[in-house]
């Protein structure tokens, strides 16, 4: 599903003339297989989010290759990468990233709208997914009128509408209490089981990491050798 | 993304900032209305001038004054006429000569003094000359007279025949009968005092049609070329002018003409004929050429007015730029989210361009409506104000402001171009928004 080869990334800090270079990832090589749930763990600041942002195409690597579904995405133009994201990847963010002026229904509908589906088809799909995540009664609520767990379920629903084969999640339960966290993790496992969706989950929480078939640990910008479980 | 959905997006965005959007649309509408009203004055005055000019004259007529030969102007000869008649699209070439003196005509105890003109009837008829009564002359001593000829006749013995105010023959001295089939005596002089005179008997066989316009007067007597030549022979001068010393020129047959008119068979052909004649070195005058010059002038004036109006729109576009920039900034987090889940930069750009076009279109529509209303008010109000201020009647049908469809199209196009251009940069900025920064609410 995901193949990463010799991936390095650094940030440039400071103004011109007195730039300092902050290396974050140093030659990462890893693979995520189809249908896996892979957790990425590591201390805060170890570069987990940076890795995910590179895979997502939000930032471009300084060096190395990233393939998703055998497409060399690290070479795609911004516009092409956007189309690729829309078609193939679902996203779950720590802070949900819902559009506040849109209802739950409209937020879930957004990827379908962007793809240009007609209204009838959109309605059919959104209603089916609303049911799946148990939000039928909240479809007309705005994000501010929903609890954290409900918001994260809306965001999961939004990630699902275009039936992606891969979902990237950066601290999906980071803003939730433990009870809600369990709820969300259950949904993730169910989706993996029933739909065979591949998950790459970033977390600093060991309990969350447990749901993965496999755990990758990052330290000092490198993958820790020999560690496959925490 | 479907246009319908983009439009829904825009509606939602606009709803959030009603007041701001309204003010921006208002500014655009004002700019657009200003442009249209300003330019409409050019259009209106042009229309009035053109109408006024065209109504007075025969539009298919081309007057030929002379022919230029080696830098000198020479009169039009019969050879020229024959050449002119052969030019393509020429319907007729009329040729007239004015008598060099004003003869006196008597009819019983009435008399009149008015111009005598010789005309070539076949070409006159071909050019559209029509009679209100009678027929065309068939022999040399038959004449037709202008529609107003009889108004010139007054009782021979009367004194102070003219009304001081109107300069017309007073009612009580006027000829009340019909001049048709009457025989009149034309008296021409050889010298100023009239010591040597000649009397020629003429029969009125026809009266010309009334001239096209109320104020035009046709009082001439149309004599035959034979009579014209007879007078030339009598005076011994070209055109029968009273010369101090009659020159020994060869008179007796008409070779040159002072009033030559070429008639085109349709309006579109006029300009082409004028060009052809110009190449042949004829000096011409036609309303159409005149019109062309007037139109060129007005086109320049209108372009100037549109330019000034465009400046108003450009000022309004600063408002649009501002509004769109703020809209992009405000919506940066939403744009970031949309980009993250896979919105194409092109889609984002289109949404913002559509929004600025939306402001432009609504502004242009409102501006056009306001401009039409203003135009109507100007056309009603301005003559009233001018009449009050100067106490003078404005000419009827004078239009200050006119808004043809072409002006609306020009204005709307300019308005749209300006608004889209001013929305371009903000739209581009929207596509460049950094996904991560936007999602961290750092913009
Ligand atoms: N946009 C950026 N510019 C500069 N430094 C950054 C940027 N993003 C992250 N970093 C730095 O890179 C390192 C890794 O960050 P991150 O990937 O967010 O870590 P994690 O998600 O594991 O906590 C941190 O030291 C962070 O300060
Ligand atoms: Mg992180």
pLDDT per position as a tens digit, B77-122: 888 899 899 999 899 999 988 888 899 999 888 889 899 999 888 8
The secondary structure of residue B395, as a DSSP letter, is P
Any chain B CB within 8 A of the CB of A226?
no
The answer to whether residues B218 and B76 belong to one domain is yes
The lowest-confidence range among A154-168, B210-224, B238-252, B363-377 is B238-252
Q: Is residue B280 part of a domain?
A: no
Does B442 touch chain A if contact means CB atoms closer than 8 Å? Answer: no
Residues B69 and B119 placed together within one structural domain of the fold: yes
**Does residue B286 belong to any structural domain of this protein?**
no
For residue A99, report the distance from its CA to the centre of ligand 2, in Å: 21
pLDDT at B145: 92
B56 pLDDT more than 70:
no
Domains of chain A: 33-49+77-223 (3.40.50.300)
Tokens 């992009």 map to which residue? B328
**Mean pLDDT for all residues in chain B:** 87
Q: Report CA A122 to chain centroid distance, whole Å.
A: 23
Residue B369 included in any domain: yes
Please tell me whether residue B430 adopts helix, strand or coil conformation: helix
**How many other CB atoms are found less than 10 A from the CB of residue A157?**
26
| Ligand 1 mutation pick, A9, A47, A51, A172, max ligand atoms within 8 A of CB | A47
Interchain CB contact of A77 with B (< 8 Å):
no
As a whole number, mean pLDDT of residues B310-314 equals: 90
Structure tokens at B326: 């703020």
Among candidates A79, A89, A93 on the partner chain, residue whose Cβ is nearest the Cβ of B345: A79
The CB density around residue A19, as the number of other CB atoms within 10 Å, is 9
Task: Report the share of chain B in percent with pLDDT over 90.
Answer: 37
Q: Is the pLDDT of residue B172 over 70?
A: yes
- Domain shared by B206 and B86, yes or no: yes
**Whether B154 and B175 share a structural domain:** yes
In which band, very low, low, confident or very high, does the pLDDT at A120 lie, cut at 50, 70 and 90? very high
Q: Measuring from each residue's beta carbon to the nearest atom of ligand 1, which residues come in under 6 Å?
A: A 11, 13, 22, 24, 42, 44-50
Same-domain status, B35 and B117: no
In a domain, B285, yes or no: no
**Are B109 and B251 within one domain?**
yes
Residue-range definition of the domain harbouring residue B257 = 61-265
Q: How close, in Å, is residue A97 to chain B by CA atoms?
A: 6
Q: What are the strands, taking DSSP E only, across B1-136? A: 61-69, 72-74, 76-77, 90-98, 104-107, 110-113, 116-119, 131-134
- Residue having the nearest C-alpha atom to atom 6 of ligand 1: A11
Kindly tell me if the per-residue pLDDT of B349 is higher than 90: yes
Is residue B278 assigned to a domain?
Answer: no
Strand-pair category, B197-208 with B131-134 = antiparallel
Mean pLDDT of B42-52: 85
Residues with CB under 5 A from ligand 2 (ion): A 49
Q: What's the residue count for chain A?
A: 230
Pair (B298, B382) in one structural domain: yes
Reported as a pLDDT band with limits 50, 70 and 90, residue A229 is very low
On the question of pLDDT at B381 being above 90, the answer is no
pLDDT score for A35: 92
Are both B98 and B238 inside the same structural domain?
A: yes
Separation between Cα atoms, residue B69 and residue A21, nearest integer Å: 90
The per-residue b/e assignment along B69-100, b for 16 or more CB within 10 angstroms, e otherwise, is eeeeeeebbeebbebbeebebbbbbbbbbbbb
Note whether residue B75 is domain-resident. yes
> How many CB atoms lie under 10 A from the CB of residue A80?
14
Confidence class for position B249, pLDDT limits 50, 70, 90: low
Q: Is residue B281 part of a domain?
A: no
- Say yes or no: B252 and B122 in one domain: yes
Q: CA of A226, closest CA in chain B: separation in Å?
A: 32
Strand B197-208 versus strand B282-286 pairing type = unpaired
Both B74 and B210 in one domain: the answer is yes
User: CA A103, CA A111: separation in Å to the nearest integer?
Assistant: 14
Lowest-confidence region among A158-167, B35-44, B243-252, B389-398: B243-252
What tens digit of pLDDT does each residue of B124-159 get?
Answer: 888 888 888 899 998 899 999 999 888 888 887 777
Residue of A41, A45, A220, A224 with the most ligand 1 atoms within 8 Å of its CB, for mutation = A45
Judge if B94 and B220 occupy the same domain.
yes
The least confident of A170-184, B136-150, B220-234, B252-266 is B252-266
Tell me, yes or no, whether B77 and B37 share the same domain.
no
Return the pLDDT at B254.
54
- Cβ neighbours, 10 Å, residue A77: 9
Residue-averaged pLDDT of chain A: 90
B435 interaction partners in chain A (CB closer than 8 Å): 58
**Nearest in space to B76 (alpha carbons), one of B338, B336, B280, B321:** B280
Structure tokens that stand for B151 in this block:
């108004």
Does an H or E element contain B145, and which? strand B142-145
Q: How far is B28 from chain A (nearest CA, A)?
A: 28
Whether B278 has its CB under 8 Å from any CB of chain A: the answer is no
A217 at B interface, C-beta within 8 A: no
Distance from residue A178's CA to the centre of ligand 2 (Å): 19
Report yes or no on B206 lying in a domain: yes
Number of compact structural domains in chain B: 2
């Amino acid at each position: 599903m995901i193949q990463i080869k010799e991936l390095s990334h650094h940030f440039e800090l400071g103004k011109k003339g007195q730039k300092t270079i902050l290396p974050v990832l140093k030659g990462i090589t890893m693979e995520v297989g189809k249908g896996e749930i892979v957790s990425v763990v590591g201390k805060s600041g170890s570069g987990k989010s940076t890795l995910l942002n590179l895979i997502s195409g939000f930032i471009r690597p300084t060096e190395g290759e990233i393939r998703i579904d055998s497409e060399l995405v690290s070479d795609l133009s911004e516009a092409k990468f956007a189309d690729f994201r829309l078609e193939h990847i679902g996203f779950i963010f720590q802070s949900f990233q819902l559009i506040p002026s849109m209802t739950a229904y409209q937020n879930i509908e957004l990827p379908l709208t962007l793809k240009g589906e007609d209204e009838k088809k959109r309605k059919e799909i959104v209603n089916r997914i609303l049911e799946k995540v148990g939000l039928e009664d909240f479809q007309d609520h705005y994000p501010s009128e929903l609890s954290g767990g409900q918001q994260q379920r809306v965001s999961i629903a939004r990630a699902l509408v275009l039936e992606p084969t891969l979902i990237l999640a950066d601290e999906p339960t980071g803003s939730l209490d433990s009870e809600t966290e369990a709820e969300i993790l259950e949904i993730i496992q169910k989706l993996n089981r029933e739909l065979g969706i591949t998950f790459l989950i970033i977390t600093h929480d060991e309990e969350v990491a447990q749901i993965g078939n496999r755990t990758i640990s990052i330290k000092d910008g490198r993958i820790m050798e020999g560690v496959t479980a925490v | 993304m479907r246009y319908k959905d983009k439009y829904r997006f825009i509606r939602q965005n606009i709803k959030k900032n009603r007041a701001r959007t309204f003010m921006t649309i208002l500014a655009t509408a004002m700019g657009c209305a200003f442009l249209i009203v300003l330019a409409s004055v050019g259009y209106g005055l042009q229309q009035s001038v053109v109408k006024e000019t065209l109504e007075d004259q025969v539009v298919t007529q081309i007057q030929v004054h002379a022919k230029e030969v080696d830098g000198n102007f020479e009169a039009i000869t019969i050879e020229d006429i024959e050449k002119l008649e052969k030019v393509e699209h020429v319907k007729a070439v009329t040729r007239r000569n004015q008598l060099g003196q004003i003869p006196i005509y008597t009819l019983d105890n009435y008399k009149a003094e008015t111009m005598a003109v010789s005309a070539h009837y076949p070409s006159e008829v071909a050019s559209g000359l029509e009679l209100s009564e009678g027929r065309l002359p068939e022999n040399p001593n038959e004449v037709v007279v202008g529609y107003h000829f009889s108004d010139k006749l007054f009782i021979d013995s009367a004194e102070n025949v003219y009304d001081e105010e109107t300069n017309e023959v007073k009612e009580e001295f006027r000829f009340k009968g019909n001049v048709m089939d009457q025989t009149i005596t034309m008296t021409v002089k050889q010298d100023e005092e009239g010591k040597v005179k000649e009397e020629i008997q003429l029969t009125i066989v026809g009266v010309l049609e009334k001239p096209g316009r109320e104020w035009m007067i046709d009082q001439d007597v149309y004599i035959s070329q034979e009579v014209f030549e007879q007078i030339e022979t009598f005076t011994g001068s070209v055109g029968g002018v009273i010369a101090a010393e009659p020159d020994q020129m060869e008179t007796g047959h008409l070779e040159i003409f002072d009033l030559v008119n070429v008639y085109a068979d349709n309006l579109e052909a006029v300009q082409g004929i004028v060009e052809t004649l110009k190449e042949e070195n004829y000096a011409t005058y036609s309303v159409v050429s005149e019109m062309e010059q007037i139109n060129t002038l007005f086109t320049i004036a209108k372009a100037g007015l549109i330019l000034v109006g465009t400046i108003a729109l450009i000022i309004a576009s600063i408002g649009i730029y501002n509004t769109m920039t703020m809209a992009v900034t405000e919506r940066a987090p939403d744009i970031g989210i949309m980009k993250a889940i896979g919105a194409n930069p092109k889609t984002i750009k289109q949404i913002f361009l559509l929004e600025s076009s939306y402001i432009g279109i609504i502004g242009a529509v409102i501006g056009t409506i306001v401009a039409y209303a203003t135009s109507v008010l100007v056309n009603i109000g301005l003559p009233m104000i001018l009449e009050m201020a100067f106490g003078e009647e404005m000419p009827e049908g004078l239009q200050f402001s006119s808004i043809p469809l072409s002006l609306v199209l020009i204005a709307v196009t300019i308005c749209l171009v300006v608004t889209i251009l001013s929305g371009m940069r903000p739209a581009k900025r929207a596509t460049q928004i950094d996904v991560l920064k936007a999602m961290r609410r750092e913009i």
